[in-house]
Structure 1
Amino acid sequence: MAPMELRTLRYFVAVAEELHFGRAATRLHMSQPPLSRAIRRLESELGAALFDRSSAGVALTAAGALLLDEARDLLGRSDRIRERVAAAAGAALLTVGILGDSTDPGALRLAAAHRRQYPHVEVRVRETDLTDPTCGLRAGSVDIALTRGPFDETGLAVRELRADPVGALLRADDPLAGRESLKLADLTGRRWFRFPAGTDPLWQSYWSGGEPREGPVVRAVQECQQAVLWNGTVGMTLLDHVPARGLTVVPLTDMPPSRVMLAWNQGDPNPVLDPFVRTAIAAYG
């Protein structure tokens, strides 16, 4: 495919993953009208509707679901080709997927230490939302994920870096907000924010307190906070995260901590992976 066509596929994948043209445009750092036009052109070229558009929202058609799988595979292979060619030409590259937020102090120490020790390695960072704890690792869009568990580790090598306590995210005027601590049973019957269908079951279960929940679907940290602020739902967050104005976090004493982890594909021959892992262990130690 020509570069323009690959770019259009990236547009399509963003819309398919967000199921919202506005959010996809924000993610792509572009305005919505040209994104909508690009998707319409793609549908015209393929002779198939890729999305069902209605007042209720956007949904993938059967053709769109098929294209999403193919597009992810093709874009992943395209990225790997570029990286291998660059490596053959003498450039060392590493694509790092970071879940949600790259301002974690550990991540900042890692960035500084890696730059100091391996200045010849070009690091590309892809921040991802909360719906894929492997940060695109299985799709081949990243070499290594700086993420949180738990998730399906099949075929992956993992290394735990840190464990962080979690708490219940509540409105500041919630009847439970003044408690010194809570247990999951205290939140029985409450609506929780939750992740979309298809999210890794282990990941979904952890952030739902091990129970099936009902409530608004979210994809990003800010959406979690807004779901609580606007709807009075509850959910879990890191205890040391500073919540938005009008919200508070109360420790959950019967929840295991959230584990900061590195994950990469077993047997990946990329020579800059091991140095990155060693640097990360030291930075988070």
Structure 2
Amino acid sequence: MELRTLRYFVAVAEELHFGRAAARLHMSQPPLSRAIRQLESDVGATLLHRSPAGVTLTAAGAALLDEARALLDQADRVRVRVATAAGATTLTVGFLGDSTDRGARRLADAYRGRHPGVEVRVRETDLTDPTCGLRAGLVDVALTRGPFDETGLTVHELRADPVGAVLRADDPLARRDRLTLSDLAGRRWFRFPAGTDPLWQAYWNGGERREGPVVRGVQECVQAVLWNGTVGMTPLGHEMPEELAVVPVVDMAPSRVLAVWQEGDRNPLIGSLVGIATAAYRA
């Protein structure tokens, strides 16, 4: 069995959905389905039950999943050990103004446990560069959020978070259980400086051109709401001062948490980090 095919199988087994697994693997669904069928033929057992309700693992599939994870983990360790022996002992990771994410903390613990000989350097950036210095060559891999121009980059989704509007606690809309973007029409929003990636700007402005204060960092966003009653957006679950409230916005697409690196960069330290991050950010 090829490691690539085992990676395909693990993705389907974890997602329990061929479409999501294909997106995670950055491939189309038909070749993924063919690869899984061939794997089932190779092992002589049905690994997945397919039905209109979804995908479930068979007993044979559950057994293979455990073994496949162990094999892929060992292969990952081998690649990193060879790379470190060859002198690749540092990795610079960019974070988008939020290295306190629980997923990031779990990732740090797991990566250090797996590769204690690798020095990880952290570069935290403000909200004006969603690639965290990747395009400028300042980091090897970015743990960030989309959307942004992905030209020349490899993008791997780690998680998708629903978002909400950040409002002053005394704002009449703060008493609502949910909001739509139309509820926020006519309000002042915080904006990012000119030159910020237009896809990124448009997402955090709800797809509209907005008026309001220009901000660069998370704390500036918070202060803009506190001082001016400005509307902001944030992933749900982020801690806010008690003077602020976060209300879910139901017609805004979730915020995608991403691992991003330069297209064609096959540094095994990056591959290992992305693999560990996939589990850490979804735990």
TM-score, normalised by the number of residues in structure 2: 0.68
Q: 2: CA distance between counterparts of 1:146 and 1:111?
A: 12
Partner of 1:161: 158
Confirm whether residue 234 of structure 1 aligns to residue 234 of structure 2.
Answer: no
Aligned to 1:116: 113
Q: Given the alignment of the two structures, is residue 148 of structure 1 paired with residue 168 of structure 2, yes or no?
A: no
Listed as ranges, the gaps of 5+ residues in structure 2 are 1-83
* Matched position secondary structure for 2:194: coil
Moved more, 241-250 or 106-115: 241-250
What do residues 209-231 of structure 1 show as CA deviations (whole Å, max 9, x unaligned)? 00000100011111101001101
Q: Does 1:282 align with 2:279?
A: yes
Choose which of 236, 240, 245 in structure 2 pairs with 1:243.
Answer: 240
Letter in 1 for 2:246: V
**How far apart, CA to CA, are the structure 2 residues paired with 1:113 and 1:168?**
33
* Residue in structure 1 matched with residue 216 of structure 2 by the alignment: 219
Which residues of structure 1 form unaligned runs of 5+?
1-86
Per-residue deviation, 1:89:
7.4
Aligned with 2:209: secondary structure?
coil
Match of 2:183 among 167, 182, 186: 186
- Tell me the CA shift for residue 270 of structure 1: 2.5
Provide Cα deviations, 1:172-203, integer angstroms capped at 9, x if missing partner. Answer: 11111101110000011000001100001110
**In the alignment, residue 190 of structure 2 is paired with which amino acid?**
F
Aligned-pair CA distance for 1:104: 0.7
Are 1:262 and 2:256 an aligned pair?
Answer: no
Which amino acid in 2 is paired with 1:105?
R
Q: CA deviation at 1:276?
A: 1.1
> Partners of 2:249 and 2:166 in 1: how far apart?
10
Q: Distance in 1 between matches of 2:245 and 2:133?
A: 31
* 2: CA distance, partners of 1:158 / 1:205: 19
The reply to whether residue 172 of structure 1 matches residue 177 of structure 2 is: no
Q: What is the aligned partner in structure 2 of residue 135 from structure 1?
A: 132
In structure 1, what is the equivalent of residue 196 of structure 2? 199
Where does residue 68 of structure 2 map in the other structure? none
Q: Deviations over 1:73-127 (max 9, x none)?
A: xxxxxxxxxxxxxx79735111000011111110001000000001111100001
Q: Secondary structure at the match of 1:203?
A: helix
CA-atom RMSD, angstroms? 1.5
Residue aligned with 2:157, SS? strand
C-alpha distance in 1 between matches for 2:152 and 2:85:
26
Counterpart check, 1:106 vs 2:125:
no
Q: Distance in 2 between matches of 1:282 and 1:88?
A: 26
Structure 1 position 271, deviation (Å): 3.0
Aligned AA for 1:152? D
SS for the counterpart of 2:225 is: helix
Aligned partner letter, 1:133: P
Aligned residues: 200
Q: Which amino acid aligns with 1:142?
A: V
CA distance in 1, matches of 2:153, 2:88: 25
Give, in angstroms, the shift of residue 245 of structure 1: 2.9
| Structure 2: distance between partners of 1:170 and 1:100 | 20
Separation (CA, whole Å) in 2 of partners of 1:217 and 1:132: 14
What amino acid is the match of 1:180? D
